[in-house]
Amino acid sequence: MQTLSRCPLAPEGQGVTFIELFFDLVFVFSVTQVVHLLHHGLDWGHAGQALLVFWLVWWAWTQFTWALNPADTTHPWVEALVLLATAVTFFMAVSLPTAFGDHALLFGVAYVGVRAIGLGLYVWVTFHDVRYRQAVLRFTALSLLGLAAVLAGAWLGGVWQYVFWGAAIGLDLFAALLVGSDEGWNLDPEHFAERHGLFVIIALGEGIIVAAHGLEAGAWNGNRLAIAVLAVASTCGLWWTYFGRAKAHIEEGLTHLRTSSTTQVARDAYTVAHFPLLLGVIAFAVVFDRMLGAADEGVAPAVWVTTGFAMALYHGAVALAMWRSQRRVAVFRGLVTLASVGACAWLTRSAASLTPLTLLGGLALANWSIAIVEQRTACPNKTTASQIG
């Protein structure tokens, strides 16, 4: 009984716990589901659907990241609420590929359920720490409008679904912009950075799983095996471009900030910038899936476009996060990304004569070039808190 009634605030120095990792594993399943949604068609319509639905997934996850950051995640009631949210997340993820069809309402209800549990957890924890109670209550009030918009869109369907879900995204961003300027948030930078790093690494792993499923679906000839090898090599390069140096720079900048700046930088470098980063991971997974499905054919123009977007989203987002946390400009990353996007745009017109091996070989080379150059040239940044703020 004493255990159940203890304060739900986190002890100092609490790291990521098993309950959070379990929650993240189920949530990242949604990344694979977005890839399945795009498997139905690689066009602007499906891309818009993927953007809308993954933002909702991301916002639900990042809300829990902020909520669990100050919470004692070994508290029985906290664990129970997270497990309940995990169960509801499962149904949200399962219904995601048909969220703009037969299962729109199921997805909407599950999404609102996850968000409601997270908001309730957040409000409960705030009543044990008055320093940021007002900020959380304001965020909760604004969030309820977005949840109402999601339910309305899911119920009405058709064009109204796009309208209301787009409005929900606008309300989410408004809430983050307005409330993120408050200084009352209680944030543990190390825990916050670790949660995002784990999400990225699990999402990259999901990309490899997509490639594995694509390989299993057909004959294991020389072309398909070579494409699978290049897909894995490119994904490993992506891992290194984030975890080799970039993650440490982003986290170091957040850790050494003045308290009044921590919330804004955490919001911009992680909550906002990591969304396009993960969209890039999804786009890479779609490219791998398409390449394995057409191993002996030419590369369709839509795949070249997707590859260009993947490079721009992933590396551009990492560069943005590095700049926001320490004002560090990733020059070489930017040059390689621009060159890759330009090449994809130029090759879109003549892609029919090029093979998937050409695309994935260039992709792996570009990612590993960034990884190697940044690993060799980067050095610990001694930027002070006064310089960052």
Q: pLDDT tens digits for 17-68?
A: 899 999 998 888 888 888 888 877 788 888 999 999 999 999 999 999 988 8
Q: What is the mean pLDDT of residues 146-158?
A: 94
Per-residue confidence band for 187, with pLDDT thresholds at 50, 70 and 90: confident
Residue 202 domain flag: no
Q: What is the mean pLDDT of residues 92-106?
A: 92
**Closest by Cα among 286, 302, 281 to 347:** 302
Name the more confident of 375 and 274. Answer: 274
Q: What is the pLDDT at residue 15? A: 82
Instruction: Supply the mean pLDDT for the chain.
Output: 84
Euclidean distance between CA atoms 287 and 231, whole angstroms: 9
Q: What is the mean pLDDT of residues 198-221?
A: 81
Euclidean distance between CA atoms 6 and 15, whole angstroms: 19
The two counts, helices (H) then strands (E), for the chain are 15, 0
Name the more confident of 172 and 297. Answer: 172
* Domain total in the chain: 2
Q: What is the pLDDT at residue 253? A: 81
Highest mean pLDDT: which range of 82-96, 252-266, 326-340: 82-96
Whether 153 and 243 map to the same domain: the answer is no
Per-residue confidence band for 195, with pLDDT thresholds at 50, 70 and 90: very high
Please list the residues that pair with 71 across neighbouring strands. Answer: 9
SS3 category, 258: coil
Whether 180 and 227 map to the same domain: the answer is no
Highest mean pLDDT: which range of 12-16, 114-118, 348-352: 114-118
Q: What is the pLDDT at residue 383? A: 40
Whether 158 and 231 map to the same domain: the answer is no
pLDDT > 50? residue 380: no
What are the angstrom distances between the C-alpha of 39 and each of 33, 35, 207, 286, 375? 10, 6, 14, 7, 35
Per-residue confidence band for 328, with pLDDT thresholds at 50, 70 and 90: confident
Whether 335 and 264 map to the same domain: the answer is yes
The angle subtended at Cα 127 by Cα 126 and Cα 128, nearest 5°, is: 85
Residue 192 domain flag: no
Secondary-structure breakdown of the chain: helix, strand, coil percentages, each rounded to the nearest 5? 80, 0, 20
Euclidean distance between CA atoms 93 and 72, whole angstroms: 26
Residue 196 domain flag: no
Q: Which domain holds residue 250?
A: 221-389
Whether 45 and 145 map to the same domain: the answer is yes
pLDDT > 90? residue 355: no
Whether 13 and 128 map to the same domain: the answer is yes
Residue 209 domain flag: no
Residue 212 domain flag: no
Distance linking the first and last C-alpha atoms of the chain: 45
Whether 115 and 239 map to the same domain: the answer is no
Per-residue confidence band for 321, with pLDDT thresholds at 50, 70 and 90: very high
What are the angstrom distances between the C-alpha of 220 and each of 211, 216, 242? 13, 8, 31
Per-residue confidence band for 318, with pLDDT thresholds at 50, 70 and 90: very high
Whether 172 and 258 map to the same domain: the answer is no
Whether 279 and 166 map to the same domain: the answer is no
What tokens does 67 get?
């909520």
Euclidean distance between CA atoms 323 and 333, whole angstroms: 12
In the chain, the percentage of residues whose pLDDT exceeds 90 is 36
Query: At residue 180, what is the residue type?
Result: G
Q: What is the pLDDT at residue 100? A: 93
Residue 334 domain flag: yes
Euclidean distance between CA atoms 33 and 51, whole angstroms: 13
Name the more confident of 312 and 253. Answer: 312
Angle between helices 301-326 and 331-347 (to 10 degrees): 160
Per-residue confidence band for 200, with pLDDT thresholds at 50, 70 and 90: very high
Residue 57 domain flag: yes
Q: The whole model's pTM is what?
A: 0.89
Q: What is the pLDDT at residue 351? A: 53
What tokens does 320 get?
């943005």
Highest mean pLDDT: which range of 204-213, 310-319, 327-336: 310-319
Residues counted in the chain: 389
SS3 category, 93: helix
Q: Largest alpha-carbon pair distance within the chain?
A: 70
Whether 173 and 232 map to the same domain: the answer is no
Chosen domain end from 186, 206, 237: 186
Q: What is the pLDDT at residue 272? A: 92
Chosen domain end from 186, 210, 244: 186
**What digits encode the pLDDT tens for the residues 120-139?**
888 888 776 666 677 777 88
Q: What is the mean pLDDT of residues 311-322?
A: 92
Lowest pLDDT segment from 55-64, 199-208, 213-222, 226-235: 213-222
Whether 111 and 27 map to the same domain: the answer is yes
**What digits encode the pLDDT tens for the residues 248-283?**
889 888 887 655 577 888 889 999 999 999 999 999
Euclidean distance between CA atoms 148 and 170, whole angstroms: 13
Euclidean distance between CA atoms 203 and 367, whole angstroms: 17
Q: What is the pLDDT at residue 197? A: 93
Whether 176 and 267 map to the same domain: the answer is no
What tokens does 26 get?
């189920």
**Closest by Cα among 228, 246, 318 to 279:** 318
Euclidean distance between CA atoms 235 and 47, whole angstroms: 22
In the chain, the percentage of residues whose pLDDT exceeds 70 is 87
Lowest pLDDT segment from 138-152, 198-212, 345-359: 345-359
Residue 324 domain flag: yes
Compute the half-sphere exposure of residue 196: CA atoms within 13 Å on the CB side of its CA.
32
pLDDT > 60? residue 4: no
Per-residue confidence band for 220, with pLDDT thresholds at 50, 70 and 90: confident
